[in-house]
Amino acid sequence: MAELVAVIASTHHPFYYRASTATGEDRPPFADEWVRKVEAFRETLTKARPDVLVMVGSDHFHQLWLDNMPQFLVGKAPFYDANWYNEEREFGLPRMFFTGQEDLSSYILREGLDAGFDLAFSNELRIDHSITCPIITLRPQNDLPIVPIYTNIFAPPLPRPKRFVQFGRTIRELVESWPADRRVAVIGTGHLSLELGGPRQFGPHGPDPEFDRKAVEWISSGDIEGCLSEVTLDSLHLPGNATHGFMDFMLMMGVAGEGAKADYVDTYDLFHTMEAYFTWYPNGGVA
C-alpha cells in the first residue's frame, strides 16, 4: 500500500514568485524574510521524500465556469499545462508543465465515487496558481507527478464546511489504500481571512486578524470540531469576502485527522493577507 508521508496546508500567495525573484529596487522589503520562511517550509516536504503529490486547490474561474461548475473535480490526465494568461499578466507567473499520476487519479475517482462523493473529472485540465504556487514554494524543481483536485470555494452554492472535512478524510483513506508502493504527500492550499474586490481589500494586514489567529489555532491543534462549531458558509462572509477559501484548509484538517497537531507551523503577516504554513507527518515522524 501507498504511504501518506506528509500532509501540508498552505496559503497560495500569487505574489511570492515575483517578490522572491525580484532584485534591486524592485525587490519588496518583505521578500527576504518571506523567502527564508518558505525555504524552511519547503524543507518539511523535502524531508518526507515523497514520490507523488496530491494537490488540492481551487480553480479561479479559469477552466471551470458557471455554465458547468463542479463542486469537487479530480484531474485525470497524463500531463497538465499550467498557469493562465491573466496570471502571467497580473502576477508574473511562468508557464509550467506537470506530469500526472494517472493511475492514482483513476483510483481516487473510482473509490471516491464508491465512498459517496460524486466526483467530476477532467482529462484535459490547465491548472492555475492555487496548485502552481505551492509547487513554486515547496517543490520548485517540479520533478514529481501530481494528482490535481479542485474544490469549489468560489461560485455559490458551495458545499458546506463539513463536506470539505469529510472529503479530506476520504482523500486520506484513498491514498492509504492505494495499492502502490509509493510515498504520497497531500498538499492543499487556501486562505485565511481575505477580501478581494471589496472595501477591505489590500489593507495593511489581513481583513480579520482575530479570525486568522483562531484559524491558525484550529489548524495547528487539529481542532476540527471546534472549527466546525464556529465556521459556516454564512460566517465565512464576515472575515472577508474571499474567506471561503479557508474551507480548503478545513479539507486539509480532515486529511490530517481530528486532534492531529501540526508538526510544523509558521505564519507571516503580510499586507492584505496572512501567510500560513502547516505540515503534519502522519506516521509520527519522517522515516
Partner 1 sequence: MSKYLLNKFLFTVDRDPELVERYREDPRGTVEWWEAEHANRLLSCHGGEASTWLRFEDAEREALAGHDYPRLFELGAHPFLTLTLFIAMFERDHEPMGFQTEYARRLAHMTMPYPDIAT
Instruction: Please answer whether residues 62 and 126 qualify as being in contact, where contact means their C-beta atoms are separated by less than 8 angstroms.
Output: yes
Three-state SS at 140:
coil
CB 132, min distance to partner 1, A:
17
Q: How many CB atoms lie within 10 A of CB 105?
A: 24
CB 138, min distance to partner 1, A:
24
Q: What span, in angstroms and rounded, lies between the C-alpha atoms of 221 and 258?
A: 9
Here's the x/- map for partner 1, 197-216, by CB under 8 A: it reads as xxxxxxx-------------
Instruction: Please answer whether residues 56 and 185 qualify as being in contact, where contact means their C-beta atoms are separated by less than 8 angstroms.
Output: no
Which stretch in 120-128, 152-160, 181-189, 275-283 sits in contact with partner 1 by CB under 8 A? 152-160
For partner 1, the closer of residues 132 and 170 by Cβ is 132
Here's the x/- map for partner 1, 51-90, by CB under 8 A: it reads as ---------xxx--xxx----------------xxx--xx
Q: What span, in angstroms and rounded, lies between the C-alpha atoms of 268 and 287?
A: 29
Which grid coordinates belong to 50?
515523497
CB 94, min distance to partner 1, A:
17
Which of 29, 156, 179, 284 is close enough to bind partner 1 by CB under 8 A? 156
Identify the helix (H) or strand (E) that includes residue 280.
Answer: strand 273-280
Which of 173, 265, 185 minimizes the C-alpha distance to 221?
Answer: 265
Here's the x/- map for partner 1, 87-126, by CB under 8 A: it reads as --xx------------------------------------
Looking at residues 246 to 285 of the shown chain, list those that interact with partner 1 (rule: CB under 8 A).
Answer: none
CB 61, min distance to partner 1, A:
6
Which of 154, 189, 193 minimizes the C-alpha distance to 71?
Answer: 154
For partner 1, the closer of residues 87 and 263 by Cβ is 87
Looking at residues 158 to 197 of the shown chain, list those that interact with partner 1 (rule: CB under 8 A).
Answer: 196-197
Q: What span, in angstroms and rounded, lies between the C-alpha atoms of 193 and 241?
A: 8
Which of 238, 258, 261, 287 is close enough to bind partner 1 by CB under 8 A? 238
**Residue 83 Cα to chain centre, angstroms:** 15
CB 260, min distance to partner 1, A:
32
Which of 160, 176, 149, 165 minimizes the C-alpha distance to 258?
Answer: 165
The answer to the question of residue 242 lying near partner 1 (CB under 8 A) is: yes
The answer to the question of residue 241 lying near partner 1 (CB under 8 A) is: yes
Cell 466546525 belongs to residue: 228
For partner 1, the closer of residues 228 and 233 by Cβ is 233
CB 195, min distance to partner 1, A:
8
Distance set, CA 52 to CA 139, 181, 183, 211, 242 (Å):
12, 11, 6, 33, 30
For partner 1, the closer of residues 35 and 196 by Cβ is 196
What totals of helices (H) and strands (E) does the chain contain, helices first?
9, 10
Q: Which residues bind partner 1 (CB under 8 A)?
A: 60-62, 65-67, 84-86, 89-90, 154-157, 196-203, 237-238, 241-242
